[in-house]
Amino acid sequence: MSTSDSDTIATEQTGTNRKQPFPRGFLDTIGTGWADRPDQAPPRRDQAPFAAARRAAISAAFPGARLVIPAGEFKQRSNDTDYPFRAHSAFSHLTGWGSDTVPGSVLVFDPTPSGHEITLYLRERADRTTTEFYSDAQIGEFWIGPRPSLAGVAADLGIRTAHLDEFSPSDADRVPDADDELTRALSELRLVKDEYEIAQLRLAVEVTARGFDDIVADLPRIVETPRGERAVEGVFHQRARTEGNGVGYDTIAASGPHACYLHWTRNDGAVVPGDLILIDAGVEVDSLYTADITRTIPVSGAFTDVQRRIYETVREAADAGFAAARPGARFREVHEAAMGVIAARVAEWGLLPVSAEEALDADRGGQHRRYMVHGTSHHLGIDVHDCAQARREMYYDGVLEPGMVFTIEPGLYFQIDDLTVPEEFRGIGVRIEDDILLTEDGPVNLSAGIPRTADEVEAWVARLRR
């Protein structure tokens, strides 16, 4: 090993006073005495042909252009610790690489007369005679485990690979976060899911369903925990990490009045019998596809009359949205159908200063939106809010097509201090969210197996509570 003792000490102590210098004996022996590692090519993964088809579509859309799609780098959490790495969704979608992506990798489309030469650049694993092997806590194999070889990745993904050191960026490179046209194309490419993506979303829903069962089964312990919302989050996280890559987004475990805050992720409250708890959670599987499901559950196992009335209204709105989701319909019609139910019911309850019809007026209405300010649906896939950079005419005003996967998630939220509603409504928040696959024959509720009706939810709690 050519590095001098003083050089090694300087390298190890740059930026911190915590690390110890390596003594001469260590440096002389650390690179020796290791068995040979066979480099057998893994079988090509199932998503490889689907990713190849996606690359071909992007290549055809940008003839003559050099395209650069990076996986991304580690992001600092604090001092010398990083957040868990997750590759850029466009990169994973085009390569088929998921939770095992090597950070810093770059997918490059170099133009040729007939299309593009496509290369995946990644950091080759370090030889055990290098200092990286034992001294680099971020990427060294002694610290994080083996990395794949270039040949292994090429065989695994069915794509040409090269060492990251060979990648030469240029000012003209198109990068998703900087080039609107490419970003939009990559987003719109995901509007209609292929066979592999649909299978992965089904898997994510299946694991998520088991996570919800875990929560319901553990409700007695959760109730006894001072910060029961955190216990809900922890129970679900255990399932997500056991059977998937993790959670697809921060879990919302919102009990009582917290359920009226749409993105309550603080999760530091108690779970109190008599209240409802709104749980919005999804498992991200190793391919990075995620479910996104919400259920609202009576903590004591039974809805009060007021809770049931509000809950069943939300379910009615969800069912109306589901009925509107047909091939050829506009995406926004799902929202409009759900909001028609919401407006009608809150008007019946005397909560509006105008009629339901007036509230639904596109220009002068909206009074009912006080109690449901969010949209009813969003596309779902490798991002929880997938295809978000698609053009409005392709998304909100777009036509529904078979192969699209999206949520239907109406809600009603009556803030604890909202004086426009009866006192018995205040502090009640309800949302029901399902993941919908559109087929040629109509919508399929992928999460229909998770109890939805008030009666089903009560039976669910009675059956699973320990």
- Euclidean distance between CA atoms 229 and 183, whole angstroms: 37
Token pair 């690979």: residue? 161
Q: Are the C-beta atoms of residues 85 and 103 closer than 8 Å to each other?
A: yes
Structural domains present in the chain: 43-188 (3.40.350.10), 195-464 (3.90.230.10)
CB neighbourhood size of 415 (10 A): 18
Which pLDDT belongs to residue 170?
74
Contacts of 119 (CB under 8 A, 6+ apart): 107, 108, 110, 159, 160, 161, 162
Give whole-number Cα distances, 161 to 47, 90, 111, 326, in Å: 17, 18, 16, 42
Question: Residue 130 has what DSSP assignment?
Answer: S
Which pLDDT belongs to residue 339?
98
What are the structure tokens assigned to 96, written together? 């088929």
Judged on CB neighbours under 10 Å (0-12, 13-18, 19+), 364 is exposed
Rg (alpha carbons) of the chain, rounded to whole number: 26
Which pLDDT belongs to residue 172?
54
CB neighbourhood size of 14 (10 A): 8
- Sequential pLDDT tens for the chain (466 residues): 333 333 444 344 445 566 788 999 999 999 999 998 887 888 999 999 999 999 999 999 999 999 999 999 999 999 989 999 999 999 999 999 999 999 999 999 999 999 999 999 999 888 888 899 999 888 898 899 888 999 999 999 999 999 999 998 875 554 556 589 999 999 999 999 999 999 999 999 999 999 999 999 999 999 999 999 999 999 999 999 999 999 999 999 999 999 999 999 999 999 999 999 999 999 999 999 999 999 999 999 999 999 999 999 999 999 999 999 999 999 999 999 999 999 999 999 999 999 999 999 999 999 999 999 999 999 999 999 999 999 999 999 999 999 999 999 999 999 999 999 999 999 999 999 999 999 999 999 999 999 999 999 999 999 998 7
- Euclidean distance between CA atoms 450 and 213, whole angstroms: 9
- Per the DSSP assignment, residues forming a β-bridge with 356 are none
- Euclidean distance between CA atoms 342 and 320, whole angstroms: 10
Give whole-number Cα distances, 125 to 142, 164, 379, in Å: 11, 11, 37
- Euclidean distance between CA atoms 360 and 356, whole angstroms: 6
Virtual torsion, Cα 209, 429, 358, 419, nearest 10 deg: 180
What are the structure tokens assigned to 233, written together? 């989050």
> Hey, is 64 helix, strand or coil?
coil
> Hey, is 355 helix, strand or coil?
coil
Judged on CB neighbours under 10 Å (0-12, 13-18, 19+), 313 is buried
Element (DSSP H or E) covering residue 258:
none
Instruction: Encode 82-96: b = buried (16+ Cβ within 10 Å), e = exposed.
Output: eeebbbbbbbbbbbb
Judged on CB neighbours under 10 Å (0-12, 13-18, 19+), 457 is buried
Pick from 210, 403, 370, 219: which is nearest to 293 by CA?
210
Angle (CA) 225-284-210 rounded to 5° is 55
- Euclidean distance between CA atoms 126 and 139, whole angstroms: 9
- Euclidean distance between CA atoms 62 and 54, whole angstroms: 13
- One-letter amino acid for residue 405 of the chain: V
Contacts of 252 (CB under 8 A, 6+ apart): 263, 264, 265, 267, 278, 279, 280, 281, 294
Contacts of 272 (CB under 8 A, 6+ apart): 223, 255, 256, 299
